Amino acid sequence: MFDEHENGYFTEETSAEVVAARNAKAEDERLRDCVNILVKHIHAAIKEMEPSQEEWFKTIMFLTETGHTCDDWRQEFILLSDIMGVSMLVDAINNRKPSGASESTVLGPFHVAEAPELPMGSNICLDGKGEPMLVRGRILDTDGTPVADAKIDVWQANDEGFYDVQQKGIQPDFNLRGVFRTGPDGTYSFRAVKPKFYPIPDDGPVGKLLRSLGRHPYRPAHFHYILEADGFESLTTHIFDPDDPYINSDAVFGVKESLMAKFDLIEDRAAQQEAGFDEAFYLVEHDFVLAKG
């Protein structure tokens, strides 16, 4: 271990070790270890990049602007974490699943906790706008057994790429949101509209950084889910449209192959009538597998 009493002078070669030695008396060992790991890798990155004083000051000003952009409704640092892939990495570390269980992905900023509980099969589209969809499937455990009384919290953006909370007074409250509970057979179904890709907020410093890196701000079309059932780990996840133009370049790295669900356009008249539609509609069928707690 580096001994600051033998050589506590800060040099380019010993920089990380000197800082770590000064942290040795921290009361919280976990905090000390985490800070020392950050220092180790940050110092290694700085030594590899060799930034000029001007470049380092620009970095400080970028972080300052990021902080100034945060308020009660917007967290620019989370956005920065998202576009760097850090949010998805933290999610992956904290949601390691057994073989066969559905994968998780990021929650996103537009979840509303008090969405209404609806009868299974209800239409969550309250304004009648957009291409109609039927979403259905099963909630199972890793043995393939149906999970009864599973709570399904679902929400989506509309056909223009906006959530209801982004368009107060334009969309009805709780538009394209709903909570459902499975019966004994573990099946679920609800009506919705075909979602559209949309940009993450890109009018702040994170958006400027994306443009400087030659990257776009778009997320591919998806549905959000939170699944909960007694005796099982909760699951926060999405299902994605595999034909979306941004499916391979999600700005926040949330897409996983297992979360792609085919969006089939049903134009057969008999199939439409059987499903209760009087026009063409999109059908999505996707099962979720919960890991036991």
Please state, as a whole number, how many other Cβ atoms lie within 10 Å of the Cβ of residue 226.
17
CA–CA separation, 271 vs 280, rounded Å?
Answer: 9
Q: Greatest CA separation found in the chain?
A: 84
Are the beta carbons of 240 and 106 closer than 8 angstroms? no
- Look at strands 187-193 and 177-181 and give their pairing: unpaired
What contacts 67, CB < 8 A, 6 or more positions away?
A: 76, 77
**In 3D, which of 80, 86, 51, 82 has the Cα closest to residue 66?**
80
Ramachandran assignment for 227, one of left (phi > 0), alpha (psi -120 to 50 degrees), beta (any other): beta
Are the beta carbons of 193 and 133 closer than 8 angstroms? yes
Please state, as a whole number, how many other Cβ atoms lie within 10 Å of the Cβ of residue 89.
12
Taken in order of first residue, the domains within the chain and their CATH numbers are 1-50 (no CATH), 86-290 (2.60.130.10)
Residue 6: strand, helix, or coil = coil
**Burial class of residue 168 in the structure, from the number of CB atoms within 10 Å of its CB (0-12 exposed, 13-18 middle, 19+ buried):** exposed
Q: What is the pLDDT along the chain (293 residues), one digit of tens a residue?
A: 555 545 579 999 999 999 999 999 999 999 999 999 999 999 999 999 999 999 999 999 999 999 999 998 889 999 999 999 999 999 999 999 999 999 999 998 899 999 999 999 999 999 999 999 999 999 999 999 999 999 999 999 999 999 999 999 999 999 999 999 999 999 999 999 999 999 999 999 999 999 999 999 999 999 999 999 999 999 999 999 999 999 999 999 999 999 999 999 999 999 999 999 999 999 999 999 999 98
Q: What DSSP line would sit under 86-147, residue for residue?
A: HHHHHHHHHT---TTSPPP----TT--TTPPB--TT-B--SS--S-EEEEEEEEEETTS-B-
What distance, in Å, lies between the first and last C-alpha atoms of the chain?
40
Are the beta carbons of 101 and 142 closer than 8 angstroms? yes
